[in-house]
Amino acid sequence: MKKASIISVGNEILSGRTVDANCAYLSARLLSMGIPVVSAYTSRDDTEAIVRSLELACADADVVVTTGGLGPTEDDLTRNAVAEFLGVELEIRPGLVAELERFFVRRGLRMPERNRIQAYVPAGAEPIENSLGTAPGIRVETKGKLLFVLPGVPSEMKGMFEGSVVGQVEQFGGGQFVVVKRLRCFGAGESTIAEMVGGIMERGRNPLVNCTVNQDGITLDIVATSENREMAAEMAAKDEEVLRARLGDLVFGTGEQILGEVVGQELSRQGKTLAVAESCTGGLVAKLLTDVAGASRYFRCGWVTYDNRAKMAELGVGAELIERYGAVSEEVSRAMAAGARREAGVDFAIGITGIAGPTGATEQKPVGLVYISVDFHQGCDTKRCTFPQDRASVRRRAALTALNMVRLKLKA
Amino acid sequence: MKKASIISVGNEILSGRTVDANCAYLSARLLSMGIPVVSAYTSRDDTEAIVRSLELACADADVVVTTGGLGPTEDDLTRNAVAEFLGVELEIRPGLVAELERFFVRRGLRMPERNRIQAYVPAGAEPIENSLGTAPGIRVETKGKLLFVLPGVPSEMKGMFEGSVVGQVEQFGGGQFVVVKRLRCFGAGESTIAEMVGGIMERGRNPLVNCTVNQDGITLDIVATSENREMAAEMAAKDEEVLRARLGDLVFGTGEQILGEVVGQELSRQGKTLAVAESCTGGLVAKLLTDVAGASRYFRCGWVTYDNRAKMAELGVGAELIERYGAVSEEVSRAMAAGARREAGVDFAIGITGIAGPTGATEQKPVGLVYISVDFHQGCDTKRCTFPQDRASVRRRAALTALNMVRLKLKA
């Protein structure tokens, strides 16, 4: 199987000013063409350092893509490094000079002398056209390896990759197909999920099953590789079936689906409506629901009753409930949900109250304690949660847990 | 000058599923401590590949920080790779087992057997405490190099870096001091700001002034370098003064301050209260305000009146207004703000209505059209905005613009 390596060039990445999203883009695209990226290097704007990255990447892989360092300023050194790596000189290409001049003319400008450097290409290499900017790319085949040198501006890089690189890489690729199936899970930790799925996650297996955790839950990627596209798809589908059987309700979606979207689709399908009453999550549940276009079909109204007076005035939560049990209590979360359902005239309503921290805790009620209620025609479910992390995580976990409760309710 | 190198471990990065933001965070923080990052490596989940990255990084730098691959599953191989790199065995630390067990007990769970692997640390290395998750980090000094091994979950990584790594790196540092002053701006584009600040942004200058744009506004970093800490601080302070004079009200904060926080502080200082009535932003304004701990001092109540019925029932927006001008209109945004101020009994109330897209546009009302009103004792200000981008950006720009209107109102 052919492999790829990526080099990102630029001090702006190594100083933390820029997050290197180019690398993720290229990795995903190369993988989808059956060429997994096996390593990535970030080099500073220094000829020697770039040359060394080229050596390392070419030792790792058959296809190497670099981004960055092709601009007209003194810290743009990738073209020099490529020439040095190849052991050749940079030579000016009159055709590129003319193209550069046209680029400026179209904008009513005269080409600054400085941009002339962008018409230089290592001897024996081919330029790659850049229709969006001034920096042409470079393509070179050396010792059986394909090297593509692209600019760092994301729109230019993507345009050139899709327009010029993809076709050549596919020809070069050599018959391997990779199908990635992604299962999105919520409701259990990474280790629980690993135990449930068992040996299917073994390294070296094909399909390879990878597990990643982020704030929105756990993602399982099934990466199936085969010389036959249908076969790869079949292998991935088979693993998906196994994983779904083992994980059951923990799987909430596939691909890039998010909980708010899945809940919305199901509400929409069932013709049900939803309202939310939030205290500690402060609008986050409503925000997650309305992140999805078309949410007005099922989402009616949200209240952020941050203040106890608002809980009483807007949702009819009894003062005596707050006094007896405290604003952070099962009783108040239930009253909030019931009030929201009544007030909005909807099928389901969420009520959330808790202590997001870092302050506000008492001995009985620690930071991270959250009560979540879902009120519906036949009753009201409540979950008492204690989330272990910082304010932002507590809020996010609480909001997602609420959406997940509605999801499971809609399944029941 | 001491140098650093960063290693990111994980197939999720090399398959493009995750953008490696950890690397940018660590790079910026290390630079601010006077330790520039000179290289970065991304390794797949493979012991040999991680070992090779460790060798390369330790050859480049004095401080090496790795993230990722410390979880409890079979594809978490960083601790094995570190042991192999050091030429030592992994050994179990009973103290860590006890801590892991406590972590689960606090959440009312029994520790899965699988998590036991996280109590293993290479012989001679020290564990780094992780108060937010199960994966302890590893710290080891080898051949004059400092190696820190951190988990990949950003909140855990950051907590451990700030809590345990920073102090040790500062001690280890040496000689050069870098002071970074960050000014946060809102209300103008990058090129306008660049024109306003003029030559101060020249490359090669010390302090170096860098400008970055993100969804929350524009950030100017003043990076002053000197062999003397006070001198660096003085240089940065002088530039800050110049920039503030040139940018005026566009500067809303410093450091990591966000608009919601700045607005909250000023409301709190003036003893004023706020409520919000949102349609297209769907809870995002309330969420941004309550991202800040202690928001209950000034934030009373929020309404997400996504449905016209809710606008009428909850905020008293007249049916005839909606009929005559449409739900997305200056009149309705004013009525929403006025209703929210009256209903919540607060000093300021925001009313937002607009078309976040991608659907819902008409010939007169394009996607991105948003009306934002701020109602207060003496009247009501309204801004008509047309934001050019996708749904998420329209919502975010609208929410931030609303907060910025309140900020400027509080200054007046």
Nearest CA in chain B to A310: B301
A18–B212 C-beta distance less than 8 A: yes
Residue A223 near residue A167, CB atoms below 8 Å: no
- Confidence band for A164, pLDDT divided at 50, 70 and 90: very high
In this prediction, residue A330 carries a pLDDT of: 97
Provide the chain A residues 269-288 that lie in CB contact (below 8 A) with chain B.
276, 278, 280-287
Q: Which chain B residue is nearest to residue A60, measuring alpha carbons?
A: B49
Check CB contact under 8 Å for A305 and B310. Answer: no
Minimum CA–CA partner of A35 in chain B: B15
A370 versus A388: which is more confidently predicted?
A370
Which of A13, A14, A205 to mutate to probe the B interface, most B CBs <10 Å? Answer: A14
Is residue A288 over pLDDT 90?
A: yes
Classify each residue of B130-146 as buried b or exposed e, where b means 16 or more C-beta atoms within 10 Å of its C-beta.
bebbbbbbbbbebeebb
> Residue written as tokens 């050019």?
B388
Reply yes or no: is the peptide bond before residue B358 cis, omega within 30 of 0. Answer: yes
CB spacing of B343 vs A386 below 8 angstroms: no
Q: Chain A contact for B104, CB < 8 A?
A: no
Quick check: A299 pLDDT over 90? yes
- Who among B42, B307, B343 is closest to A296 (CB)? B307
Q: Which of residues 119-158 of A touch B (CB under 8 A)?
A: none
A213 to chain B: nearest residue by CA?
Answer: B153
What's residue B174's pLDDT? Answer: 60
Lowest mean pLDDT among A59-63, A95-99, B190-194, B408-412: B190-194
Across A13-27, average pLDDT: 89
Cα separation, B101 vs B134, in Å, equals: 9
Provide the pLDDT for residue B287.
Answer: 98
Question: What digits encode the pLDDT tens for the residues A205-217?
Answer: 999 888 878 778 8
Chosen from B52, B303, B304, B312 to mutate, greatest number of chain A CBs within 10 A: B304
Chains A, B: CB contacts within 8 A come to: 293
Cross-chain CB nearest to B75 (options A23, A210, A301): A210
Owner of token pair 């309550």: B290
> How far apart, in Å, are the Cα atoms of A292 and each of A286, A299, B60, B186?
10, 10, 46, 26
Show residues of chain B in contact with A14, CB under 8 Å. Answer: 27, 36-40
Q: Which of A361, A380, A377 is nearest to A369 (CA)?
A: A361
Q: Is B381 exposed, middle or buried (0-12, 13-18, 19+ CB in 10 A)?
A: middle
The predicted model gives A95-108 an average pLDDT of 87
Q: Does B59 touch chain A (CB under 8 A)?
A: no
Has residue A174 got a pLDDT over 70? no
CA distances from B242 to A177, B160, B209 (A): 57, 36, 12
Question: Nearest Cα to A388, choosing from A371, A407, A366?
Answer: A366
Q: What is the mean pLDDT of each run of 10 residues along chain B (412 residues)?
A: 93 88 92 87 96 97 96 92 96 93 87 92 94 90 94 93 89 74 89 83 82 78 86 95 96 93 97 97 97 95 95 96 96 98 97 93 91 96 89 94 97 86
* Alpha helix stretches (DSSP H) within A271-389: 284-290, 308-315, 319-325, 330-344
Shortest CA gap B26–chain A (Å): 7
Residue B360 Cα, gap to closest chain A Cα (Å): 9
Look at A391 and B293 and tell me if their CB atoms are within 8 Å: yes
More confident residue, A344 or B15: A344
> Which residues 21-50 on chain B approach chain A with CB closer than 8 angstroms?
21, 23-29, 31, 36-46, 49
Taking residues A124-133, report their average pLDDT: 89
Mean pLDDT for chain A overall:
92
The two structure tokens encoding residue A335: 């009253």
Query: Is the pLDDT reported for residue A220 higher than 70?
Result: yes
CA distance B38 to chain A (A): 6
Residue B296 has what pLDDT? 92
A23 contact residues in B (CB cutoff 8 A)? 13, 16, 19-20, 42
**Cα separation, A170 vs A377, whole angstroms:** 56
Q: What is the pLDDT of residue A175?
A: 67
CA-nearest residue to A29 within chain B is B16
Q: How far apart are CA A251 and CA A370, in angstroms?
A: 23
CB-CB neighbours of B319 under 10 Å: 11
Per-residue pLDDT tens for A224-258?
888 888 999 999 999 999 999 999 999 999 988 99
| Domains along chain A with CATH numbers | 4-173 (3.40.980.10), 177-254 (3.30.70.2860), 259-411 (3.90.950.20)
